[in-house]
Amino acid sequence: MFYMQELFIDSVTHKFNQQTILNGVFINCKIGEVVGLLGRNGSGKSTLLKIIFGSTAADFKFLKINEKIIDKGYRSGEISYLPQDNFVPNNVKLMQAIDIFCNQHKEELLKIRFVTDHLQRKFRTFSGGESRFLECLLMIYSDTKFVLLDEPFSQLAPLLIEELKLHINFAKQFKSFIITDHYHRSIIDVSDRIVLLHNGCNYKIESVDDLILHGYLPHTKN
| Binding region for ligand ATP (CB under 6 A) | 16-17, 21, 39, 41-47
Output 51 or 97, the one with its CB closest to ligand ATP.
51
How far apart are CB 179 and ligand ATP at their closest, in Å? 13
How far apart are CB 44 and ligand ATP at their closest, in Å? 4
Output 54 or 171, the one with its CB closest to ligand ATP.
54
Q: How far apart are CA 81 and CA 65, in angstroms?
A: 15
- List of residues 6+ apart from 26 with CB closer than 8 A: 9, 10, 11, 12, 202
What are the contacts of 67-74 at 24+ separation with CB within 8 A? 67/3, 67/4, 67/6
Output 9 or 98, the one with its CB closest to ligand ATP.
9
3-class state of residue 53 by DSSP: helix
3-class state of residue 98 by DSSP: helix
How far apart are CB 51 and ligand ATP at their closest, in Å? 9
How far apart are CB 84 and ligand ATP at their closest, in Å? 6
CB atoms near residue 107 (< 10 Å) = 9
